[in-house]
Structure 1
């Protein structure tokens, strides 16, 4: 059972909620796309549900809310270190089922990987999820194959139909922001995709023998090591550290955590000049195997969520889904 109310009333409740929450959702940014006069859809703070782009896939994932692109970990002087002040507001994120599954993968990496990441936990503990349904599959999506097309792990579900908002609220805390006398009870069922045009099959016998397959050779020439696929991916977590020093005093500055990518040059370089995976085909192999093999051995489920953003963004039209499907033939080759 759920309820509905008109958009104006919902926005009034949203404004009240914004006193304690930062509310993020995918919005269309006109003229901010990769090329001139193109748009992009990415996560921004909103004031009205009308701003949300419900009918198109976001170009970037919501991970940048809980893992900022650039994050100051601490400030330092000659004598001490100071942790930056945290925003006291909680966080509300409108996102799709696949991205809720992506957050589970981020939790696995940052919270259940031996030691909890202090900075990630501080942000993630504040987050509540508002599910956005998918009435049909978007281009390049293969979420059904990856089992991320549906979820029950949400605090609230919303859907706009004409001038009305249909809501299923599981969170008592969020429910307190609605005025009960303004709500009309109705049946509300989240919309989930049940079919994708693209299907992915991961070999059951997949193992490290695939490393010797010739299937990776094509990526030495096709991949340009830009890292775009990693940056839009909802489950990629690679980062690097950077110390920024004051111009006036070289002993004063700040340490930042900054997104990085296993595809870009220099990421796996070590002191002494040695570098792992200098060839781009080796980087592609590393990423693919991490998404559909290595991570599952530890966590019990695949890292990839099938959102297809990597395929959407690649300037060389490399398809991750096609690459994964090639693993079947490649395993027969190495057998």
Structure 2
């Protein structure tokens, strides 16, 4: 069922929802850009529909809302431990189709990648309601169409601004709010029809993986990559983390254990006891990331990990393009196949 809501009615709807939900969307973060006196589009809690940025892609993905950058797992003393209390409100997040697909990728890793689901992820994930932000035109560096993530049916309702009003395709009418505040109207979400960036996904057979792993294409990233990890922290599907124990100064016997996002690209990520470290070479790290995104994950779960949002290309200070790297991998695969 579709509805048209005026700006005032949309704000009334948000106000009513906020009684039971925390609502997050892409918002303007003044002065928080990469350079002095520049702004940033990121995810934040909203109070009014005017807070939402519809026409720009967010620098960071929405995953930080339900998979926090830093998360306290439990507090401890010398005698006991306890988990932190959860906010009783559920969570609504406004996100684009590619990011909704990214949630399913995170679900695979955090909930299905072992005998037991990640309970901390599950606590927040079970609170989550997904709202689709229409994405009628592609942004720079997007390649969602190549990844098949430009469309989705997985949302509670869609949202699109239209001449001062808002159009919504509603699959879940929260307590009848849309029916009471909106005007019934036939609405279909709008999705991007083309991207400027195209990616050719390689179909890698298991017997050719080792040949691609040691291919010369990774050599250029030995010097180009600076191991800053921006590509991972901006990515909506990366899930790696490290653990930290924080001890309080006033009582060293008490503290908290946190998990914090980490990155397969940064120094120290593969350090082991005894001083050994895997993938010290930055080209090897790039190889690991790319093959994990387009081969390993797909082999295990049946779909590529990358969703084509293009954020990694947007944020890289060395202008390394993940999309171009995947295309080079496809070219290398053809080269290897010719010599088999």
Give the structure-1-normalised TM-score: 0.97
Q: Does 1:223 align with 2:225?
A: yes
State the Cα distance separating 1:249 from its structure 2 match.
2.4
State the Cα distance separating 1:332 from its structure 2 match.
3.3
1:4 match: 4
* Alignment partners' CA distance in 1, 2:146 and 2:230: 23
* Alignment partners' CA distance in 1, 2:48 and 2:204: 49
* Worse-matched range after superposition: 153-162 or 221-230: 153-162
**SS of residue matched to 2:105:** helix
* Alignment partners' CA distance in 2, 1:94 and 1:55: 13
* Contact 1:23-1:45 at 8 Å conserved across structures: yes
State the Cα distance separating 1:181 from its structure 2 match.
4.4
User: In the TM superposition, what whole-angstrom CA distance separates every residue of 1:39-65 from its partner, at most 9, and x where no partner exists?
Assistant: 110000000111111111111000001
Match among 223, 233, 236 for residue 234 of structure 1: 236
User: In the TM superposition, what whole-angstrom CA distance separates every residue of 1:8-65 from its partner, at most 9, and x where no partner exists?
Assistant: 1110121111011000000111221010111110000000111111111111000001
1:203 match: 202
* Worse-matched range after superposition: 198-207 or 69-78: 198-207
**SS of residue matched to 1:85:** coil
* Contact 1:213-1:333 at 8 Å conserved across structures: no
* Alignment partners' CA distance in 1, 2:26 and 2:197: 24
- Within-5 A mapping of 1:1-335: 1-114=1-114, 115-172=116-173, 174-178=174-178, 180-205=179-204, 207-208=208-209, 209-334=211-336, 335=339
User: In the TM superposition, what whole-angstrom CA distance separates every residue of 1:225-253 from its partner, at most 9, and x where no partner exists?
Assistant: 00000000000001000000011222210
User: In the TM superposition, what whole-angstrom CA distance separates every residue of 1:49-95 from its partner, at most 9, and x where no partner exists?
Assistant: 11111111111000001110000000011111111011000000000
* Alignment partners' CA distance in 2, 1:200 and 1:15: 42
Give the structure-2-normalised TM-score: 0.96
* Alignment partners' CA distance in 2, 1:332 and 1:204: 10
State the Cα distance separating 1:176 from its structure 2 match.
2.6
Displaced runs of 4+ in structure 1, greater than 6 A? none
* Structure 2 unpaired stretches of 5+: none
* Contact 1:133-1:190 at 8 Å conserved across structures: yes
**SS of residue matched to 2:194:** coil
* Contact 1:141-1:198 at 8 Å conserved across structures: yes
* Contact 1:169-1:175 at 8 Å conserved across structures: no
* Structure 1 unpaired stretches of 5+: none
**SS of residue matched to 1:28:** strand
* Alignment partners' CA distance in 1, 2:335 and 2:195: 28
State the Cα distance separating 1:175 from its structure 2 match.
4.8
* Contact 1:61-1:99 at 8 Å conserved across structures: yes
**SS of residue matched to 2:38:** coil
User: In the TM superposition, what whole-angstrom CA distance separates every residue of 1:131-154 from its partner, at most 9, and x where no partner exists?
Assistant: 001111100000000000000000
**SS of residue matched to 2:42:** strand
* Contact 2:27-2:51 at 8 Å conserved across structures: yes
* Contact 2:9-2:182 at 8 Å conserved across structures: no
* Alignment partners' CA distance in 1, 2:234 and 2:283: 20
User: In the TM superposition, what whole-angstrom CA distance separates every residue of 1:262-303 from its partner, at most 9, and x where no partner exists?
Assistant: 000000010000100000000000000000000000000000
* Alignment partners' CA distance in 2, 1:195 and 1:183: 32
**SS of residue matched to 1:191:** coil
Aligned residue pairs total: 333
* Alignment partners' CA distance in 2, 1:332 and 1:54: 40
